[in-house]
A and B are shown apart, each in its own frame.
Chain A
Amino acid sequence: MIAPLTEQADQAGAPFAAPWPLLSRPVPAWRVLTATAAKNLRVARRYLPNLLGRYAQLGLRVAFFLLMATVVTVRPGAAAPLAGRELFAFFLAGMLLVVFIRPSLYAPLEMASADLQSGTLEYLFATPGSRYGYLAGAVLSELALGLVGFLPLFGVLLWTARPTALAAALMLAACALMLVALTALGVLMALLAILWRQVGSIAEVLGVVFEMLAGAYLPVSAFPAAVRGLACALPYTWGYDLVRHYALGERWATLLPPWQEWAMIAAHAVLYTALSLHLLRRAERRAKQTGLHVL
């Protein structure tokens, strides 16, 4: 005995016939994003030694830059040389974003690679859920994990640089805006894995180049003009510059007037988000030509 047809309508209002009411419903991208981030955090908690290792790595970096600050002087373009406490603040401002940048760039890529191998991506891409939400969820969980490193670093930076309350708030706002662009870049990196499968080495190179170019460790103003041009295409450059501007005040000369740097980060965030959304659809179509389960 076959159940009578149930006339239903999809979200566009078009009717179709199914034997019973559908349980599968459209899910907003933010719901996929938060569910994926929660899932990743739960998994990360179960790999505790790895999590601790990551914070130990961050601690080592901070110690290294503290040592550097005692023996090195940096001359950031036209501004006065930075040394000692100010140089440590310069490095800390870079580290603040490095805490987020590296894992956020690699996390979606690693997740996509692992899901290709296990067949999970094939399943997920056969469901109606938001692909962007899924990949961005990997970034969100990394950002949450990064906060554990970010907050003490930010505290040390405040203690070292002694910015005003407004400057500290603007530093946080610059970081937050940059994270939107960072999410889009993370999704773009994941697309490399979806299209070309094994891309760990390419991602590693890109990550290091991005960090170097954007001025995580050296001021962009010290680079040759051609390299500075490339640096301007990265949202991090403006993030580092603004954070250093608010941390060091008059001691730091920004590449552009601050309001223009804010506009640059916002423009990058919009541009990269639009680009990643567009390319994600194309990458899925292309990847589905060869299949999404790498056995």
Chain B
Amino acid sequence: MTDAVVAEAVQKRYGAARVLAGASLSLRRGETLAVLGRNGAGKTTLVKILAAALAKDAGQVTVLGRDLDREPAAVAHLCGYVGQDSERSAFPRLTVRENLRYFGVLRGLRPGELDARIALLAEALGFGARLDVLFGTLSGGQKQAAIIARALLHDPPVVFLDEPTKGLDPLAAARLRAFLRGRVRAGLALLLTSHVTTDVEALADRVAVVHQGRVPVSGAPGALLAALGGAEVVEVEAAGLTAAARGRLAGLGAVSRVLTGDPTYLGCVVREPLAGVEAVVAALRAEGIAARFRQRALTLEDAVLHHLGAAGAREAA
């Protein structure tokens, strides 16, 4: 695969606050990269910079080989962008079709191809019946779908979506995911941020975790999961999960990782499902702790939280 987007050592400050401290990532053609991280980690700032909606302080960004600083117009032709909380970013007293036509004209689409693209996207994203109503009268989810259609109107080869399914109902979200998967198969380079694990699991070929303005962890979801050393989690709920008890669990051969929780909760990633549960139960009994147990599959969310914790510990060190 060819690199579609390369960001190197991107830095950004808002006054005294350092938001990005040398974030680097790459996105290939025909790939979906999910950018994850806690609130305030710098995801949205990074996406805005890649989409040329915000200026960076330092670093370099190239899109399909075009340098964002030297050829901003060429880069703008290549990209589609949906910002966070941008569901109001169209004209409320124009219909959806009038809005899309206007934005399509600004992109240089010809009337015939513009109408064809509007029809295709409205059908794919499920708002075909609402094309001729005023944008301002749409529900939040319908507005979001129309805004996403605007970003895809010119069929860009690179798309940045910041929390695209926020506000969409499950059916609309599934439609969007199906449409995007099809375009990615055809060669689209898609970068998205999301707190919705369904989106990430359904779409992401790779995940980049942003933490304190950097991207300390990135890789395929499978690789991030595999790094935890097991496929199952034994959740433990108990009053008074002491440090000693946590330490004992972490030392068990059947447990590959203890996922941090609060004083009454933790999760143990176990190497073997049955043997793992037995070992965890026995260890807590030995500590005299009465607990409730639940076994479930390891999720990408577990992996991200774990890697965020590890990144935080490395930062602290």
Q: Which residues of A approach B to under 8 Å, CB–CB? A: 1-3, 5, 10, 14, 16-20, 22-27, 31-32, 35-36, 39, 42-43, 46-47, 118-120, 122-129, 134, 285, 288-293, 295
Contacts and interface: CB of A to CB of B under 8 A. Distances in A.
24 contacts: A2-B185, A16-B78, A17-B2, A18-B64, A19-B30, A19-B186, A19-B187, A22-B157, A23-B117, A23-B155, A31-B105, A47-B93, A119-B83, A119-B88, A120-B89, A120-B90, A122-B86, A122-B89, A123-B53, A126-B76, A128-B76, A129-B106, A288-B53, A289-B55
Contact of A2 (B1, B52, B156): B1
A24 B89 contact: no
B79 A126 contact: yes
Contacts of B77: 10, 22, 24-26, 128
B113 A23 contact: yes
B282 interface: no
Contacts of A17: 2, 64-65
A120 B146 CA distance: 13
Contacts of A293: 53, 83, 85-86, 89
A14 B74 CA distance: 10
B73 A3 contact: no
Interface of B: 1-2, 14, 29-30, 48, 51-55, 64-66, 73-74, 76-79, 81, 83, 85-86, 88-91, 93-94, 98, 102-103, 105-109, 113, 117, 150, 153-157, 185-188
Given A19-B29, A22-B77, A122-B83, A27 B53 contact: no
The 10 closest A-B pairs by CB, nearest first: A19-B187, A25-B108, A119-B89, A128-B76, A24-B154, A2-B30, A288-B55, A129-B106, A24-B77, A3-B187
B102 A5 contact: no
Contacts of B102: 35-36, 39
Contacts of B103: 127
Contact of B83 (A39, A123, A128): A123
Contacts of B29: 2, 19
A43 B91 contact: yes
B284 to A, nearest CB: 47
A1 B267 CA distance: 39
**B14, B64, B107 — most chain A CB neighbours (10 Å):** B107
Contact of B94 (A39, A129, A288, A291): A39
A203 to B, nearest CB: 22
Given A5-B2, A23-B117, A126-B52, A119 B157 contact: no
**Chain B interface, >50% SS class:** loop
Given A23-B154, A42-B94, A42-B98, A291 B54 contact: yes
Chain A binding surface, main DSSP class: loop
B91 A20 contact: no
A210 to B, nearest CB: 29
Nearest to B15: A290
B37 to A, nearest CB: 19
Contacts of A289: 54-55
B88 to A, nearest CB: 5
Given A39-B91, A125-B53, A288-B53, A23 B109 contact: yes
A127 B185 contact: no
Contacts of A291: 48, 53-54
Nearest to A21: B155
B244 to A, nearest CB: 47
Contact of B108 (A24, A122, A295): A24
Nearest to B155: A23
Nearest to A43: B93
Contact of B107 (A20, A25, A285, A290): A25
B159 to A, nearest CB: 12
B108 A27 contact: yes
Contacts of B85: 119, 293, 295
Given A16-B78, A32-B105, 18 more contacts: A2-B1, A10-B74, A10-B77, A17-B2, A17-B64, A18-B78, A24-B154, A25-B107, A25-B108, A35-B102, A36-B102, A124-B106, A126-B81, A129-B106, A288-B53, A291-B48, A291-B54, A292-B54
A27 B234 CA distance: 59
B147 to A, nearest CB: 8
B79 A123 contact: no
B55 A285 contact: yes
B64 A123 contact: no
A116 to B, nearest CB: 10
A89 B30 CA distance: 69
B68 to A, nearest CB: 11
Contacts of B65: 16-17
A1 B185 contact: yes
B29 to A, nearest CB: 6
Nearest to A22: B77
Contacts of B106: 27, 32, 35, 124, 127, 129, 134
Nearest to B157: A18
Nearest to A44: B93
A149 to B, nearest CB: 22
A293 B102 CA distance: 20
A20 B186 contact: yes
A58 to B, nearest CB: 23
